[in-house]
Amino acid sequence: MGGTDAPRILVVDDTPEILALIESRLKRRGFDVQTAADGEQALAAALGRPPDLVVLDIMMPKRSGWEVARALRRDPATKDTKIVVLTAIGEAVNQMTSPIYGADAFLDKPFDFAELEQVIDKLLGTGSEPEQGA
């Protein structure tokens, strides 16, 4: 990972408030965070600088999150990127469709930040060890 050890996370959501809240929270945790407000921005960002993990909304302009997830899985540079779907489409639909499009995990909106962080930590293998000597 280049000059920093911080995992790179791309947060994609067309709601500016959600985007800003998740970005702020993850940056405080020490992650290298990039954002995108629609599906096309997300793909350009991910393919330009492949992230370790994508937090991905589904219902967005230009390209849906499902289209983005499918494109990420098909590209050799991003095929192993972890994908967390974060959406308000409903748990039943989310549970059925997330695996089809290659998502590693999903959370329904409204979501709990602590739960999102736990999912991210599990997928990236971060935060599981107690900090030693600060």
Residue 14, pLDDT above cutoff 90: yes
Residue 3, pLDDT above cutoff 70: no
pLDDT of residue 19: 95
The tokens for 76 are 């050799």
Cα(108)–Cα(89) distance, integer angstroms: 7
Please state the pTM of the whole predicted model. Answer: 0.86
44: domain CATH number is 3.40.50.2300
Indicate the burial class of 95 (C-beta count within 10 angstroms; 0-12, 13-18, 19 or more): exposed
What are the b/e assignments for 109-127, b being 16+ CB within 10 Å? eebeeeebbebbeebbebe
Q: What is the extent of the structural domain holding 37? A: 8-123
The answer as to whether 130 is a domain residue is no
How does pLDDT run across 122-134, given as a tens digit for each residue? 999 987 444 434 3
How does pLDDT run across 53-76, given as a tens digit for each residue? 999 998 899 999 999 999 999 999
Size of the chain in residues: 134
pLDDT of residue 89: 66
The answer as to whether 36 is a domain residue is yes
Residue 41, pLDDT above cutoff 50: yes
Residue whose structure tokens are 């230009």:
62
Q: How many structural domains is the chain composed of?
A: 1
Question: Quick one: pLDDT band at residue 102, thresholds 50, 70, 90?
Answer: confident
Residue whose structure tokens are 């791309």:
10
102 contacts 96 by C-beta, under 8 angstroms: no
